[in-house]
Amino acid sequence: MTFLAIIILSGMYSIVSAQQKGKEQKKEQKESFVRPEPKKPIQPTIPKENRYQDDKVFLENADSLYRPGHEFEERQIVKGDVQFRQGGLYMFCDSAYYWPTKNSMDAFGHVLMKQGDTLFVYADKLFYDGMTRHAVLINGPSQREVVMKNRSVTLTTDSLDYDVLQDLGWYNVGGKLVDGVNTLTSQYGQYSPSTKIADFRGDVVLINNKDGYRLTTEELTYNTATAIADINTETLIEGKTDTIITSQGWYNTKTDNATLTARSTILHRDSAGNVITLEGDSLIYDKLNHLSQAFMFSNPNRRPRPMVLTDTARKMQLVGGYGKYNDLLQEALATDYPLLIEYSRPDTLFLRADTIFTFQRTEKVWPDSLAHNWSKETRERLYAYGSLGDMIDIMVESLMLLPSYVVRPGEAARLMGFDDIAIFPPKGGATPVSSPETMDTSEVFDLPDIEPDDTPPLPEPEEMEPVIEGIVEEAQEWDEENNEVGDSTVVDGELEEERLKAIRDSLERIRPKIDKLGRDSAYMVDQNYHAAKAIGKARFFKSDLQGIADTILYHQYDSMLYLQRKPVVWSEERQIFGDTIKVHLIDSVADWAHLPVGGMVIEHIDEDFYNQLSGSEIKALLRDSQLDHLIVNGNVETIFLPMENDSTYNKLVHAESSFLTVDMDGKAMQRLKMWPEVEGTVSPLFMVKKHDEKYLRGFKWLELLRPRRKWYGDKVKWEDELGDVPDELIEYFQQE
C-alpha cells in the first residue's frame, strides 16, 4: 500500500510540472511581442446618444475615469476637467462621483453651474440629483463663498439649495444679495432668476448703495428688476433726514417713493435737528419732491383714525382726514375737518377750518449785535467805520481788563509787522524794556485822532453824473473804433440815457440802506418764522379767547392774528365783530386788538341788556386778557348801562360823537371820554321797551356760534370722530 501511494504521487507531480512548463513557454512567447506606445492620452468614451435629454445627466468630459469593482450600484470616479450636462444646464468641477443609473453626481473643487449666459453658480462642492433636478452647493477650500450671479444680481452664502425646475435658489444659514441698487442681508433668503423676486426672513437689512438709508424688518419681498420692496411686517426705514415706521406697503428704492397701506409714521428732521412727524392710516412718500401725504381710512370695516402732523419744535399738532407736508419748504396742509392744536403754553389753542395751511415765512432781521436802539452819536460813529481795522484804530489806548503794558489787539501786527501780540520798546529804541513799569505806552502808539467825518461817505448820484457821462463817452468811442454792434453800442441819445440810468441804478444798489437807527440793511440776515392760515369756516378756542372768521391768518414774525370776512371774537361776556379784526399776541396771550375798518364791541350785562359800541376804527388794549383801554375813531355810537354805587343798573345811555376812549379797571369801567361834541339820551330802564331803543344798528349777539371745547375733546392726540361743522356756522357764512 505504501508503495502504491508513492507511485500515484509521483505521477501527479509529473503532470503538474509539465503544465507549469507549458505555461512558462507560452508566457515567453507573448512577452516577445512589444506593443507600440499610444500617440495621445487615453480618455473615456461616451456612447453616441442624444445628450440634450432633460431627464438624464450625461458626462461630457473628464481626463480620467475609474469604475470600482464589486459595488452593487455602478459608480464612476472622474477627474480632471470634468463636465456634466443635463438639458441646458452645464456643471463643471475638478473631480466627481457619478451614478449613471441614479442620474446623480457629487462634484468637488472649483464647481460651476451654468445655465445659458445669464446664470452662474460657484461653489466648492455640489450634490446634484438629476431625478428631482435639485442641487446643494457648499463652500470650501476652492471657493470660500457660494456665489450665484444673474446679470446684475449677486447672491452669496455658505450653503445654497437650487431647484432647477422652479429656477429658485435659497439659503438658511445667512446670506447677502447685491443688485447694484441695494445690498440685502438676512438669515433666510430665496431668489428666482426668472421672476426676479427675492424673499427674505430673519434679521432682514436693506442698505441703499446710493443714499445709504437702512431698512430693517423680519420679512421682506424684493424685486431686483424694479428695485421695489414689498413690506408686510413691522419695518423701519432710516435715512439721513427721514425715518419711516410702517408694517405694510411698497417702497421703490430707486425713486425713494413709498406707498404705505397700514398705519404708518414718517419722521422728518430739519437742519436744526427739529423733528416733524406725519402719521396716517396710509401714506404716500416722495423723497425726490420732498413731499409726504397722509390719509385716513374710508373703509367701514377698519376703524379710521385721522392723520396727525406733529411739530415738536413749535409744539404744534395738525390733525385731519387728509394732510401733506413738504419737508424742503416746511409747508403743511390739512383738509377734511382739520384741527390745529398749539400747546406751547398750558392754555392750549385749538383751531378748526375747512383747510389749514402752515408754512415758513422768511424775513430780514437784524442780528442780535445790531438789534439795539443806539443814540444818534453812537450811530454816526459806528457808521463812520470803514473796516474792523478802523474800529481798532479808534479804540482807547488800553483795554480796562488788560495790564497797561499789553499792546492793544491788532496793533502789533499792523505797526510792527509781527503776527503775535508782544511787548515792544519805545520808538527808536533797540533794547527791549526790562520792566513793564518803565514802559510808556504813549510813546509806542502815536495815533491820529479819527473822527466820524474823516471817513468820506459814498458820493451822491448827482456828484457821479460827470464821471458816468465820461464812462459812457469812452464806451461809445471804443464801440465806434471797434465797429461793435450790440448792447454795448451807443446808437442814439435814447440808448445813451438808458445806459446812464442803468449805471446810476447800479450805484444806488451798492449804496448802504440806512434805517432810522443808522443801521445798514446789508447786515440784516434771513430768519424763518412760522405762519398758519385757516380757510373756510375757521374757528379757534382758548380758555380766555374764542373766535370765528371765514379766514384766520397767524404770523409768528409780528405775533399777529388776522381774522378776515365776518370775524367774531369772544372774551368772557364780551363780543367783537366787524369786517377785519387784528389781534396781537405776546406768548400766545392777546395784547391788543384792532378793527381798522369799523365794527362793534358788545358786552352782555343782564338778560337782554348789553353795553354796545361801534365806530369807524376801534382799538382795544388788553392786560392779563382783560380789556384795559379802548379807543374809537370816527362815527362813534354807544349804548351802555352805567353801574351805580350799589352795583346795580337803572338807566340806559345812548350817545354819539366823533371820538371815544374808555379806561377799564378790571371788569368795571373807570373812565369814559367822548369828544368834541356829544349827542344822546339817558333813559330809565323801566321805560326802555322797544328793540330799537336797546340796540345799535347792526347789533348781533352771536353766542350760538361761539366755539366750545366740547367740539375738540380733551386729548392732545385726537382719536375721536372728526366732528361736523355746526349748522348755525354754515348758515352764518352763507349770508351776504
Give the burial class of 263: count Cβ atoms within 10 A of its Cβ; 0-12 exposed, 13-18 middle, 19 or more buried.
Answer: middle
Asked if residue 47 has pLDDT above 60, the reply is no
Q: What is the pLDDT of residues 435-464, one digit of tens each?
A: 333 333 333 333 333 333 343 444 454 555
Q: What is the pLDDT of residues 690-702, one digit of tens each?
A: 666 789 988 999 9
35: cell is 506593443
Query: Which of 308, 179, 332 has its CA nearest to residue 253?
Result: 179
Average pLDDT over residues 407-432: 36
Q: pLDDT confidence of 412, banded at 50, 70, 90?
A: very low
User: pLDDT at position 416, please?
Assistant: 39
Angle (nearest 5°) at CA 670 between 664 and 675:
95
Cite the beta strand spans of 442-524 per DSSP E.
none
Kindly tell me if the per-residue pLDDT of 326 is higher than 70.
yes
Q: What is the amino acid identity at position 224?
A: T
pLDDT of residue 175: 96
Q: What are the tens digits of pLDDT across the range 395-408? A: 554 444 444 444 44
Alpha carbon distance 380, 344 (integer Å): 42
Tell me the Ramachandran region of residue 563: left when phi exceeds 0, alpha when psi lies from -120 to 50, beta otherwise: beta
- Relative orientation angle of helices 461-482 and 493-510, to the nearest 10 degrees: 130
pLDDT category, 5, cuts 50, 70, 90?
Answer: low
Query: Higher model confidence: residue 83 or residue 371?
Result: 83
The whole-chain average pLDDT of the chain stands at 78
The CA distance from 323 to 305, in Å, is 13
Return the pLDDT at 581. 93
| pLDDT (mean) for 369-386 | 64
Mean pLDDT calculated for residue range 30-56: 58
Question: Residue 686 — pLDDT band, cuts 50, 70, 90?
Answer: confident
Evaluate the CA torsion angle 604, 605, 608, 609 in order and state its sign.
Answer: negative
Asked which of 278-292, 293-307, 712-726 is least confident by mean pLDDT, the reply is: 712-726
Range among 16-20, 38-42, 648-652 with highest mean pLDDT value = 648-652
Counting every residue written for the chain, the total comes to: 736
pLDDT value at residue 261? 92
* Mean per-residue pLDDT, 173-181: 94
Nearest to 275 by CA among 238, 313, 324: 313
Cell 470634468 sits on residue: 82
Overall average pLDDT of the 670-699 stretch: 84
Q: What is the pLDDT of residue 566?
A: 93
Contact 641, 611 (CB under 8 A): yes
378-381 CB contacts, 8 Å cutoff, 24+ apart:
379/517, 379/518, 379/519, 380/452, 380/518, 381/452
Strand partners, 653: 640, 682
Rounded distance, CA 617 to CA 638, Å? 14
Strand 580-586 versus strand 560-564 pairing type: antiparallel
Segment 157-171 shows an average pLDDT of 95
- 337: its cell numbers: 375737518
Taking residue 57's Cβ as centre, other Cβ atoms within 10 Å add up to 25
CB 495 within 8 A of CB 511: no
Quote the pLDDT of residue 650: 85
Asked whether residue 144 carries a pLDDT value surpassing 70, the answer given is yes
C-alpha cell at 144: 470660500
pLDDT at 426 over 60: no
* pLDDT above 80 for 70: no
Summarised one tens digit per residue, pLDDT across range 288-313 is 899 999 998 876 676 778 899 999 88
Predicted local distance difference test score (pLDDT) of residue 11: 57
| Residue 360 confidence class, pLDDT cut points 50, 70, 90 | confident
Q: Please provide the DSSP assignment of 217-264 as one string.
A: EEEEEEETTTTEEEE-S-EEEE-SSEEEEESSEEEETTTTEEEE-SSE
Q: Which residue has the higher pLDDT, 45 or 191?
A: 191
Contact between 239 and 213 under an 8 Å Cβ cutoff? The reply is: yes
pLDDT of residue 303: 74
For residue 22, the model assigns a pLDDT of 56
Share of residues in the chain with pLDDT > 70 (%): 69
Q: pLDDT at position 515, please? A: 61
Grid cell for residue 535: 380757510
Encode pLDDT of 110-139 as tens digits.
999 999 888 999 999 999 999 999 999 999
Percent residues over pLDDT 90 in the chain:
38
> In whole angstroms, what is the distance from residue 688 CA to residue 695 CA?
11
Q: How far apart are the first and last CA of the chain?
A: 157
Q: pLDDT tens, 513-559?
A: 666 555 667 778 888 888 899 999 998 888 888 899 999 998 888 88
Q: What pLDDT does 492 receive?
A: 52
Q: Find how far residue 187's CA is from the centre of its chain.
A: 32
Q: Please classify residue 150 by burial: count the beta carbons closer than 10 Å to its beta carbon, then call 0-12 exposed, 13-18 middle and 19+ buried.
A: buried
pLDDT tens digits for range 584-632: 888 777 888 899 998 999 999 888 889 999 999 999 888 877 788 889 9
> Whole-angstrom Cα distance, residue 701 to residue 577?
10
Q: What are phi and psi of 415, to 5 degrees?
A: -90, -35
Mean pLDDT of all residues in 492-520: 59
What is the average per-residue pLDDT within 149-160? 94
Amino acid at 523: Y
Band of pLDDT at residue 507, cut at 50, 70 and 90? low
Q: How far apart are CA 320 and CA 309, in angstroms?
A: 9
pLDDT tens string 196-220 = 999 999 999 999 988 889 999 999 9
What CA–CA distance (Å, rounded) separates 531 from 556?
A: 6
Return the DSSP state at 362.
E
Show the 3-state SS of 547-586: EEEEEEEEECCCCEEEEECCCEEEECCEEEEECEEEEEEE
Q: What pLDDT does residue 219 have?
A: 96
Ramachandran sector of residue 103 (left: φ over 0; alpha: ψ -120 to 50; beta: rest): left
User: 693-705 burial, b for 16+ CB within 10 Å, e for fewer?
Assistant: ebbbeeeeebeeb
SS (H, E, C) 278-341: EEECEEEEECCCCEEEEECCCCCCCCCCCEEEEECCCCEEEEECEEEEECCCCEEEEECCCEEE
| pLDDT digits 0-9 by tens, 701-711 | 999 898 877 65
The answer to whether residue 485 scores a pLDDT higher than 60 is no
Q: If you search the block for the grid coordinates 471817513, which residue do you land on?
A: 455
Q: Which residues pair with 169 in a beta bridge?
A: 162, 191
Tell me which of 429 and 265 has the higher pLDDT.
265
Whether 248 and 261 have beta carbons less than 8 Å apart is answered as yes
Burial label for 174, CB within 10 Å (0-12, 13-18, 19+), is middle
Report the SS3 class of residue 446: coil
Mean pLDDT of 347-369: 83
Asked if residue 185 has pLDDT above 90, the reply is: yes
Q: What does residue 504 show for φ and ψ, rounded to 5 degrees? A: -60, -45
> Residue 252: which pLDDT band, with cuts at 50, 70 and 90?
very high
